[in-house]
Structure 1
Amino acid sequence: MGRSYFHLHLVSDSTGETLINVGRAAAAQYEGVSAIEHVYPLVRSGSQLERVISEIRAAPGLVLYTLVGGDLGQRLEMAARESGSPCLSVLQPVHDLLQSYLGTQKAARPGAQHMLNAEYFKRIDAMNFTLAHDDGNLPEDLEEADVILLGVSRTSKTPTSIYLANRGLKTTNLPLIPGVPVPAEIEAARKPLIVGLFASPERIIQIRQNRLSSLNADESSMYVDREAVSDEITASRRLFMRNRWPTIDVTRRSIEETAAAILDLHRDHRMKFIAE
């Protein structure tokens, strides 16, 4: 059975990130179906909306939107209905529930979640820290870090670190190299949450082979030898167990799932650290 496709129009008065995440999460539940995404960010004027409407008319499909100001939402819904495209305001049910619970009207502020507040600058600070201390570049004062990730090569340490930084956590990561001991500062660290990442040998070898192929490098090295990779992973897990560091198997986890698990661990770790 072949894969079927549909047009998915995502119309936002901000960056469109909310819509993209919602649309992809929903579409992923339907096997054999893929969305052709049309993303329209920063739609805040009538002329901008008219260009969006013309594209919807040219390729009818499903329309999701987050337009909080003026009558843009009503105009979009009318045009979508005329073109036979089902249309939904993704945030409206949430606004209705909040309004009912809080007993107050919402303020129409496009992109309000992206305001340059203290939380925003905390994320920027965390991102700068994380990029400066990637792949073994440990800070002089390791206690500045919120999270330290350890794992053999190709266990997704860097992308996970960047994702965590975007959530406001200063993250550093260290590759575990055969024959090279972990710096004593890490084993002595108290404030940071230390997490060990590991994956199956098959998964690690697959990723490493792809990496070597992209670099036109020799694929017969110990870097992708089945026995050598298994020994690396075993040694890393023994290290994690000896230090009683929490571990996460990333074999079948996405970066987002790994980061979510780490955020949960960090919440508990932070509470215990404060209580001490």
Structure 2
Amino acid sequence: MTDSTMIIYVISDSIGETGELIAKGSIRQFESENFEIKRYPYHNSIEQIEPILLEASQSPKSLVIYTNVVQSTRDYIEKETKRLNLHTVDVMGSPMNQIEQILGYPPIREPGLIRRLDDNYFKKVEAIEFAVKYDDGKDPRGVIKADICLVGISRTSKTPLSMYLANKNYKVANIPLVPEVPVPSEVYAKDVNKVIGLTCNPEKLISIREERLKSLGLSNGAKYANIDRIKEELKYSKQIMEELGCIVIDVTSKAIEETAEIVMEHVDSLI
């Protein structure tokens, strides 16, 4: 670390995840790699915070981001950072103030509420466990119980999309489409509105599959990454998706988040 390194101090009375995400998202906008993020979770007393602020004041390029909600702690940080002439970001202050003005009563100022175990948390855990259990056609019976069934050939983002949707509380099963393997009857029995077909450009698939083979220490000459084989698989998957009558999403140039938004919008419109 040099004097030109920017140091971002993230102080929180909970785990500090929110502050760190804001720090990372912000610094990336400057395309700089010359930074360090120091996270200090569960810090809510002057004794804990004072040495952090003193350390920050010794760095020519430092920023303090804090998400504390207890008023006495917030008052101390605000006063001390002004005294030390530190750059600061009060993540919770402005949103809480605005909400208080709208609702007309003060916040309870209890640390860690966002992490509290609630019904939503357990639904998410259940959805993630479901996605793992019924990933990649391990058990086709999961298709019937799933909120969403994804179908597509290998490397069309079925698994990562399943996990992303699970984090949004959707129970997802995914089924690989392989010309030599019959499609499970459960897929045909599923409400077609809850079946989502995924496809991809063959050239993109070659690139993805070659990287996959490389990570496994295998040759790129394998049938798995052969252009003719990929085109055969895509032709087969198109045929199956037309038989099913499901919507089809081309994931070639889409991030997982973009595809997920399309899927969620489609499924939620059925409710």
TM-score, structure 2 normalization: 0.85
Using the TM superposition, give the Cα deviation of residue 145 of structure 1 relative to its aligned residue in structure 2, in angstroms. 1.0
Query: In terms of mean alpha carbon deviation, does 107-116 or 172-181 score higher?
Result: 172-181
Report the alpha carbon displacement of residue 250 of structure 1 after superposing the two structures with TM. Answer: 2.4
The number of residues matched between the two structures is: 266
1:96-175, aligned counterparts within 5 Å? Answer: 96-138=97-139, 140=141, 142-175=143-176
Opposite residue 175 of structure 2, the aligned amino acid is: L
Equivalent residue number for residue 222 of structure 2: 221
Aligned to 2:256: 255
Using the TM superposition, give the Cα deviation of residue 186 of structure 1 relative to its aligned residue in structure 2, in angstroms.
0.8
8 Å contact from structure 1 (residues 145, 192) kept in 2: no
User: 1:149–1:44: structure 2 CA closer, same or farther, 3 Å change rule?
Assistant: farther
Helix, strand or coil for the counterpart of 2:156? coil
Check conservation: 2:141, 2:186, Cα contact below 8 A: no
1:8 equivalent in structure 2: 8
Residues 141/259 of structure 1: CA separation in 2 closer, same or farther (3 Å cut): closer
Identity %: 32
Distance 1:143 1:261 in 2: 21
In structure 1, the partner of 2:67 is: 66
Query: Which amino acid in the other structure matches residue 11 of structure 1?
Result: I
CA–CA separation in structure 2 for the residues paired with 1:123 and 1:130: 11
Show structure 1 runs of 5+ residues with no match.
272-276
- Structure 1 stretches (4+) deviating beyond 6 angstroms? none
Relative distance call for 1:202 and 1:103 in structure 2 (3 A) is same
- Secondary structure at 1:135's aligned position in 2? helix
Unpaired segments ≥5 residues, structure 2: none
* Larger displacement relative to structure 2 (229-238 or 194-203): 229-238
Q: Provide the TM-score with structure 1 as the length reference.
A: 0.83
Give how far 1:17 is off.
2.8
Of stretches 70-79 and 84-93 in structure 1, the one that deviates more from structure 2 is 70-79
Structure 2 letter corresponding to 1:218 = S
Does the aligned pair in 2 maintain the 1:12–1:66 contact within 8 Å?
yes
* More displaced stretch, 116-125 vs 9-18: 9-18
SS in 2 for 1:148: strand
> RMSD of aligned C-alpha atoms?
2.6
- The answer as to 2:35 corresponding to 1:33 is no
CA contact (8 A) 2:140 2:184 kept: no
Counterpart contact for 1:143–1:191, Cα < 8 Å: no
- CA-to-aligned-CA distance 1:196-224 (integer Å, 9 cap, x gap): 22222232222221221121112201211
Report the CA distance between 1:260 and its aligned residue: 2.8
Question: How many Å apart are 1:192 and its aligned residue?
Answer: 7.4
Other-structure match for 1:274: none
Cα separation, partners in 2 of 1:199 and 1:44, compared to 1, 3 Å: farther
Deviations 1:57-96 (A, max 9, x none): 4544233221111422333344444555421112322212
Match of 1:94, SS? helix
Q: Indicate conservation of the 8 Å contact 2:192/2:246, yes or no.
A: no
Q: Distance in 1 between matches of 2:253 and 2:20?
A: 23
Q: 1:232 to 1:111 in 2, by over 3 A?
A: same
Which residue number corresponds to residue 56 of structure 1? Answer: 56
The corresponding residue for 2:42 is 42
Once the two structures are TM-superposed, the CA of residue 254 in structure 1 deviates from its matched residue by: 2.7
**TM-aligned CA distance change 1:188 to 1:68, over 3 Å:** same
SS in 1 for 2:15: coil
Task: Give 1:243 shift.
Answer: 2.4
